[in-house]
Structure 1
């Protein structure tokens, strides 16, 4: 008689990014392919927002995407453009603040950008928000979020490399106020 191993299964468990819905203010940081889970989250939040879902606590999203190559922005720009247009039509243009950071480029790309800098939309994405070049200044970003949300609990979510996780975790601690009535940042890491 053969013995069959017993196995227990526990779950299902959600990802850290599902907790985005628990915060009034969220900072979403995707690096490279780490943007993938945030695409569905941004769509989901927007649908809940449009449907006036009473369970949706989120009132402000800050979204950051760091990527090495311009063609990677193309597939995601369509989603952002649709949300950008809908939010403006509803008078909610400040619900989503997004910043795209191109961390790698060559001289030809730089020349093209300089020639087209006066355009109303970004030459890379076609969005109203212009692409930033290089890496974010996280101190500046956290200071800005804290200033705009002086009494909020801010969920900070990353889908990206461990080195960036360490930086963001330190910034969350640095920019959280000891006064419980003021801004607090909570760090959440998504693995990929």
Structure 2
């Protein structure tokens, strides 16, 4: 998944350079062949240290993705979900530090971490709302236990919304 995000960043940088040097109105630009218009990346991990693997690319996305093509979401499941009284002090500290420094205390990056597990139905519904009448590929890499839920939501929301979700699972 990291290589896909790096590829999107590199393509948008390259196409941005080409178009700024030689803009031709009405001409088929190289960006027309680049089909990715938006990517939602969700990384859920139990261990805070796992975010270190990806910190550099998260910061690169935050710094260079001026058009907001890549939406990064990180979740740390070893901390109680936001709103839970047990995580309130950490949530307050995280918010204050992020507001002052622009760095998340959990991931160490510019991407603010959400505590607890992702609400996948809510995520799919938001993506469907933002991408009506479009086809959205869902690519999952992770534990088999989440596969069924994500596949079900892709089918369910494809029927209930005007967005077509296509689920793909990476196998090792």
TM-score, normalising length: structure 2: 0.77
Task: Within 5 Å, give how 1:27-176 maps onto structure 2.
Answer: 38-52=1-15, 53-54=30-31, 55-88=33-66, 92=67, 94-105=68-79, 110=87, 111-119=89-97, 120=99, 121=102, 122-176=104-158
Q: Which has the larger radius of gyration?
A: 1
Gaps of 5+ in 2: 16-29, 81-85
The aligned residue for residue 170 of structure 2 is 190
The count of corresponding residues between Structure 1 and Structure 2 is 147
Contact 2:62 2:111 (C-alpha < 8 Å) held by counterparts: no
Asked if 1 retains the 8 angstrom alpha-carbon contact of 2:59 and 2:111, the reply is: no
Other-structure match for 2:24: none
Distance 2:169 2:59 in 1: 27
Which protein, 1 or 2, shows the higher relative CO under an 8 Å CA cutoff with sep ≥ 6? Answer: 1
Give the Å deviation of 1:112.
4.3
CA RMSD of aligned residues (A): 2.1
| Runs of 4 or more above 6 Å deviation | none
CA distance in 2, matches of 1:166, 1:125: 28
> Deviation of residue 128 (structure 1)?
3.9
SS in 2 for 1:117: helix
Gaps in structure 1 of 5+ consecutive residues: 1-37
- Structure with bigger helix share is 2
Structure-1-length-normalised TM-score:
0.69
> What SS class does the counterpart of residue 56 from structure 1 fall into?
coil
Tell me, in whole angstroms, the C-alpha distance in 1 between the residues paired with 2:133 and 2:143.
30
Cα distance in structure 1, aligned partners of 2:6 and 2:54: 11
Q: How far 1:189 sits from its partner (Å)?
A: 0.4
Deviation, structure 1 residue 117: 2.4
